[in-house]
């Protein structure tokens, strides 16, 4: 592997060259190659496919604009996920899009649940109401709770990576995951009783 292609974590950023647009573009291009898919997947855990694509592009534009201010307290990858998290939160706060996002959750849950069995009409009805309840309960969680659950269970992301993405310690992330599971369980039970 050539030295040139190791911008990500291996090659030391030449801080003094970050005001040079050509060098900055080289760094961002490398970041896109190494992290583009992971950032897109992260954005999809917050947003619908179309919006995730849009936000992923915004993340790399923001990285290009903000690189001169980057300070290496965090790895470039963690810094990039921080930008992605902020962009997704901004997009998510747009109330008009919440319903679309809720539907996307329901579609994903539906696709996963029905991947392997047709079942009887009664079973399908029961299942559909369970899915609707789950989507409803997920939408009632706080943003961060929903995100950690989604990254863990729908995107199968390891807890260490989730900690990186959320900018927290592994221990704090595990705690948050447990609390989020507990809250989801409580909401589901309340929903079943209604």
Query: Using one digit for the tens of pLDDT, what is the confidence trace for 117-137?
Result: 556 667 666 666 777 777 778
Residue matched to tokens 């995730």: 52
Q: Which residue has the higher pLDDT, 72 or 11?
A: 72
Would the pLDDT of 182 be above 80? Answer: yes
Q: What is the pTM of this model?
A: 0.51
pLDDT at 88: 85
Q: 3-state DSSP call for residue 69?
A: helix
Q: How many residues does the chain have?
A: 194
Closest CA to 75 of 167, 4, 3: 167
pLDDT at 23: 87
113 pLDDT band, cuts 50/70/90, is low
Would the pLDDT of 11 be above 50? Answer: yes
100 pLDDT band, cuts 50/70/90, is low
pLDDT at 54: 84
Q: Which residue has the higher pLDDT, 84 or 123?
A: 84
pLDDT at 1: 37
- Which residues does 59 contact at the CB level (< 8 Å), separation at least 6? 39, 43, 80, 83, 84, 87
Please give the mean pLDDT across all residues of the chain: 76
pLDDT at 192: 66
CB 28 within 8 A of CB 83: no
pLDDT at 9: 45
Burial of 19 (0-12, 13-18, 19+ CB in 10 A): exposed
Would the pLDDT of 8 be above 50? Answer: no
């Amino acid at each position: 592997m050539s030295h040139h292609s190791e911008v990500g974590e291996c090659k030391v950023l030449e801080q003094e060259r970050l005001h040079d647009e050509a060098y900055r573009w080289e760094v961002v291009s490398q970041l896109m190659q190494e992290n583009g898919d992971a950032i897109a997947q992260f954005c999809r855990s917050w947003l619908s496919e179309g919006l995730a694509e849009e936000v992923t592009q915004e993340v790399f534009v923001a990285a290009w604009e903000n690189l001169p201010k980057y300070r290496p307290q965090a790895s470039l990858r963690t810094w990039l996920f921080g930008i992605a998290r902020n962009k997704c939160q901004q997009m998510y706060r747009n109330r008009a899009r919440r319903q679309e996002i809720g539907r996307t959750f329901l579609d994903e849950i539906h696709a996963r649940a029905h991947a392997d069995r047709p079942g009887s009409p009664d079973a399908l009805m029961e299942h559909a109401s369970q899915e609707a309840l789950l989507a409803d309960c997920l939408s009632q969680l706080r943003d961060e709770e929903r995100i950690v659950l989604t990254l863990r269970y729908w995107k199968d992301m390891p807890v260490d990576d989730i900690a990186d993405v959320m900018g927290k310690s592994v221990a704090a992330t595990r705690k948050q995951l447990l609390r989020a599971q507990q809250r989801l369980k409580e909401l589901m039970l309340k929903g079943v009783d209604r």
